[in-house]
Amino acid sequence: MPGNYKILIALSGGVDSSVAAFLLQQAGYEVIGITLKMWSYEKTYHNKAYSQSDSDFIEEAQNLAKRLHIEHHIIDIQDDFERLIINNFIDEYFAGRTPNPCVLCNPTMKFGIMFYYAKQLGCEKVATGHYLSLKNENGRYFVSQGKDLTKDQSYVLWKMSQEQLSRCFFPLSELTKKEVKDLAQSFGIESIADKRESYDVCFIPNGDYRYFLKLQRPEACEALHGGIICDKNGKWLGKHQGYPFYTIGQRKGLDVAVGHPIYVTQIDPENNKIILGEKEDLLSQTLCVKNFNISKYETLPENFRALVRIRYKDAGTMATITQIENILHCDFDKPVSAVTPGQSAVFYDDKDVVGGGIIF
């Protein structure tokens, strides 16, 4: 209930969290802001200038907190972020997999740190500017897609625990991005409303993860340069730039000419090899996941039917999910393309996130 109810909100300096803070304050909550400094673009990219840097966003968050007259904390978590998220991201690529760092970061870093400080500051809930809703049915908490499906962020929160979800608050669940921008205009924060969107991978502002890997581990990248590219029968097709620079389903940038489109179908890190194939070679009727988390139910119902999304922008395909010991098996109604180890398979019951796991 509003009043003495204290909420800690993540302020990123962007329009979503800014509008969320306004809405919470208007609703009568006592709002405290927190901004996590996770990574320095300038340090990583050798002071290369971008249109806006991480320091710009921190300054915007500070300015918003002053305008709202709310307490605001800036927490530097760069060392932990590098140790837990950056290093895992790099290790996964060097293991021949394609990670989604947001899936790991949300429960272990972003929300994890915020819950810690919420307790210290006497806040009962933690709020963010995510476009999704939170449900509580039969004593179980789970996230569900919000009103704006084009901005849906439910896919990256499947690892959240019951305790974490029970303390979350998502003020933008019933708003579209356009409505949020319109609200920003009405609140007089037009400059924030017109800012660029945050990055898909927050620590790679130019989107070039290959360049990032070279900066982080130049010697390892150089050692892998010149490995073999072959077809599924082992026929030599060329040399690659290093297998961490490729992902399943990739068609562009292969530097191989065979007279028709060809795709990465397999990455063999042990032999420093990339295998190419036809489009139909990417099709799979099944996949398996490990390290799964089920949120909507205490245990997954037997032979459970769900829409399964195998990447962030995937529309999803219906499948039957069965559990065999510590592995979930997904049998799709129709073949899916480019099942990628390291990515997440997330299970949906209509708009509700039932759970998810890591593809292997």
What's the order of all strands across the beta sheet hosting 168-169?
Answer: 71-76, 30-37, 6-10, 125-127, 168-169
Give the C-alpha separation, 120 to 134, whole Å. 24
**CB-based contact 132:157 (threshold 8 Å):** yes
Q: For 60, which DSSP code?
A: H
Q: What is the DSSP string of 8-59?
A: EEE--SSHHHHHHHHHHHHTT-EEEEEEEE---HHHHTTT---SS-HHHHHH
How many angstroms separate the most distant Cα atoms in the chain?
70
Q: Which of 105, 123, 168, 330 is catalytic?
A: 105
Q: For 198, which DSSP code?
A: P
For 3, residues 6+ apart whose C-beta sits below 8 A from its C-beta are 28
**In which element (H, E) is residue 337 found?**
strand 327-337
Q: What is the DSSP string of 205-248?
A: TTS-HHHHHHHH-HHHHHHHTT-EEEETT--EEEE-S-GGG--T
**In which element (H, E) is residue 115 found?**
helix 111-121
Q: What is the DSSP string of 308-319?
A: EESSTT---EEE
The reply to whether 230 belongs to the active site is: no
The reply to whether 105 belongs to the active site is: yes
* Angle subtended by helix axes 177-186 and 15-26, to nearest 10: 70
State both tokens at 253.
């940038």
Q: Which of 202, 221, 230, 330 is catalytic?
A: 202
Give catalytic residues, as residue numbers.
105, 202
